Amino acid sequence: MIKKVLIANRGEIALRIHRACHEMDIKTVAVHSTADADAKHVKLADEAVCIGPPPATDSYLNIPRIIAAAEVTGAEAIHPGYGFLAENAALARLCADRGLVFVGPSPQALELFGDKAAARDLAARNAVPTLAGTPAIASVAEAERFMREQCDGAAVILKAVAGGGGRGMRVVREPGDLAAAFEACAGEARSAFGDGRVFVERFLPVARHIEVQIAGDGRAVVVLGDRDCSVQRRRQKIVEVGPAPWLSAACRRRLEEAALVLGRAAQYRNLGTLEFLVDADENVFFMEANPRLQVEHPVTEAVTGLDLVALQLELAAGVELAALGLEARPAERGMAMQLRINAETLSADGSVRPAGGQLALFEPPGGPGIRVDACGRAGYRPHPAFDTLLAKLIVHAERPEPAALVARASRALAEFRLRGLGTNLEFLRALLAHGPWVDVPVCTDHVERRLAALLERGTVSGNDPQGQGAGAGARIDREDPLAVLEYGHQAGTTPARAADPNGDDATVVRAPLQGTVVSFAVEPGAAVAAGTPVAVIESMKMEHEVPAGQGGRVRRLHAAVGDTLWEGQALLSIDPDEVQGTVRSDEQGIDPDLIRPDLAEVLERRAGTRDERRPGAVARRRRTGQRTARENVADLVDEGSFVEYGPLVVAAQRRRRTIEDLIERTPADGLITGVGRVNGDLFDDPEARVAVMAYDYTVLAGTQGVHKWCTGGAQGVPGQSGISCISCGNG
C-alpha cells in the first residue's frame, strides 16, 4: 500500500485528499504557492513544500517543481485532485518514468479523453450516439459549411478540442457570428490549454446534462452512480443532484451501458466521469469524458457510502475492483445535492465577477444529512489568481424525493452565514426557492430562462475597490532562481504598484472585474475610438474584452500583461482629443428603445411559436404537400387583424417532458385561437369580425393535452359578442 502521497493541489480538494489519506494512515505532503503559505491544507499536512509564487504556471502547474518536491520528500505517489494537472498526460508519464504512482488514469487514457474530438471518435467506433459534429477545424469556412449543410442553419456550438470547465465554448445562432466566435474560442483555448484547436457540434438547446461516474482497474469497469448537472451558468455547473431525478429506468440503463462501453474500450483505470446530453425524448448523446476526480464527487459518496478518494488510492495501488467488492453498481440510498459557494458578485445584468476581500465570518450549517467541504474560514482572503470556490454544501435526504432534498438544502443555505466579501449565497437561495427538480426535470438553460426573477432576490453588490491601489497579485523575475525565496521572505506583503491615476485630465480605463491581464490591444500614443477593445482580462475561466469608454490617445499603460488586478484598478489612461469618436451608449442616458428582460422573455416566447422559428415542423408539412395552420389563418383573416389568445400555453405533459421542451415543441398547446376580420373591406364590425380556431398538426401530431381552455374560450367569444366562429381542421 502507498505510504506517502504528495497532494498537487490547493483549496478544499487538497483538504479532502489529506483527510482521506490520514484515514488510511498515509502521510501527506502539501505543495503550495507563496500565497497559500497559511492555508489549512498546508498546516494539516505532515510536510509542506513551497513551489513558487501565485500564478499557477509558476506553482501548481509547474511539473518540474512538483516532481522535485515529491522526490525530495520521499513521496511514493502524486494525487492531482481536480483542475490544474489532473488531466495532464505528461505528468502521468513522468511519474511512471520516475517510479512515482500517479493517482489517476493512464497517460494513454488521459491523452484519449483529453482530446474531445478523439473521444467522439471512440464513441462513434463503439456505437455510442453523439451529436453531429466535425473533427478539429482550421478555418471559419469549415464551420460555416457544417452549419449550412448539417444543421440547416440551426444553432451550433464551438468547443475547444482540449477544453473543459466551460472554457473555449461559444454558442452561435447566426452564421454571421461564426468568425468572431471562432477567434474567441481559439484564443481562449490557447490561453487556457495551450491548444487553440476547435471543433463544431450541433447545439441542443433543450437538454439535460447527465454524467455517469465510473471506476476501473484496467480490466474491469463499474458504474458507481449518475448525477444531474443541468443547473449551470454559462455552461459552468452550479448545482448537482444524484441520482439524476426524472429519468426513466430505460434511459438510466442506456446511460450506464454507454459509460461501460467507453470505459472498457479505453481499458480505463481509476475514477472517471462520462458526460451526456439527454433530450426531451430521452435520447442519449455522448458529450465528453473527465478522466479525473470531479468537483461534485461528494454527491455520489453521499448516496453510496463510498469514499471515492480512498477508492482512487486503492486502485492506484493496484487493488482490483473485485477485491473491493465493486463488481456491480452499488446500492444507492436516498438522494443528494451539492451547491457551490463562490466568492463572487452578481450584477444587475446577470454578469458574475470574482469578489475580493477577507472573510470576517464563516459559519457553515450542520445537522443530519449536511456536509461542508471548505477552504473558507474567518480571516481567509481568496487570492485572485485562483478559483473562487469557498465551500461545497452537500445535502443528503434519506428518501429519493426531490422536494424533500430541495427543502433540506434550502434550510441549510438559510443557516449558512458568510460576511466580509461578496458570495453567491443569496443567488443559490433564490434558485432553490424556484423549486428545481421538484415537479419537472431541469434543463441546461434553466438559469438563463429565469434570470430576471432570480436577480430580484439574488443580486449581490460588488466590493468597493478604493484603497486597493496595489495589484492583487505579484510579478517576480522568472530568470532569477532566488526570486521566489526573496518574495517569500516579504512576510506576505504585496509589492507596491503604480499609484492610481486620479485627479488629472486623462480618462482612466479600469478593470471591470478582478482578474489577470491577458493582453493589451494598444500602446502609448495609439489613437482609439470610444468602444474600441483595448485590453483582455481573464477571470473566472473566461476572457473578457475591456472597451475604451472615451475616444482619444493612449497616454500610459498602468498595468502589464500577467498582472492580477482588483476590480476598479487602472489599466490605462486616455487623453481625449480629436480622435474622440462616438460616445458609449451607457453615457447617453436612458435608451427609450431598451427592452426590459422580462418583456424580452415574453417577446422571445411569442416569436418561438411562429413558423419561421420552427423550420423542422414546417419541413415535415412540406414533405406531405401540406400547409401550416398559421399559414391558413394568415390567408383567412385580413392582414394585421388577427389577435391571438393563449400562444404561450403548452401541453399538459410536465411529468414526461421538461417545461423548456414543451415551450419549444408544443406552442399554443396545438390550437391556434384568436379573433380577427374577414373581408373587412366589404363589411363593417361586427359583421367582419370572427373568432378563429385552427388545429396545429405540427404539434405532437395535432393533439392537445388537458389545457383545452383555449377551445372553450374561443367558442365562448361568439356567444358573448355576437360574432361568427371559424374552425379549421387539418389540411
- 197, 292, 408, 510: which is the annotated catalytic residue? 292
Of 587, 546, 717, nearest in space to 643 by CA: 717
User: Cβ(70)–Cβ(29) under 8 Å?
Assistant: yes
Of 710, 702, 559, 552, nearest in space to 628 by CA: 702
Chain mean position to CA 717 = 47
H or E segment and range at residue 716: helix 709-721
Q: Within 234-334, where are the H helices?
A: 249-265, 297-304, 308-316
Calculate Rg over the CA atoms of the chain.
Answer: 28
- In whole angstroms, what is the distance from residue 85 CA to residue 66 CA? 10
Q: Quick one: three-class SS letters along 519-588? A: EECCCCCCEECCCCEEEEEEECCEEEEEECCCCEEEEEECCCCCCEECCCCEEEEEECCCCCCCCCHHHC
Grouping H, G, I as helix, E, B as strand and the rest as coil, residue 363 is: strand
User: Cβ(252)–Cβ(226) under 8 Å?
Assistant: yes
Residue 288: all three cell numbers together: 465528453
Q: Which amino acid is at 515?
A: G
Of 712, 718, 616, 594, nearest in space to 667 by CA: 616
- In whole angstroms, what is the distance from residue 213 CA to residue 271 CA? 7
Catalytic residue status for 333: no
What residues contact residue 141 under an 8 Å CB cut-off, 6+ apart? none
C-beta neighbour count of 209 within 10 angstroms:
22
Of 456, 445, 438, nearest in space to 663 by CA: 445
Of 641, 627, 729, nearest in space to 691 by CA: 641
- In whole angstroms, what is the distance from residue 280 CA to residue 660 CA? 9
- In whole angstroms, what is the distance from residue 174 CA to residue 155 CA? 7
What residues contact residue 710 under an 8 Å CB cut-off, 6+ apart? 645, 646, 649, 668, 669, 671, 673, 693, 704
Strands 101-102 and 77-79: parallel
Residue 714: all three cell numbers together: 374561443
In degrees and rounded to multiples of 5, residue 339 shows phi and psi of -120, 135
- In whole angstroms, what is the distance from residue 87 CA to residue 271 CA? 12
CA-based torsion, 40, 43, 47, 51: positive or negative? positive
- In whole angstroms, what is the distance from residue 306 CA to residue 459 CA? 37
Active site residues: 292
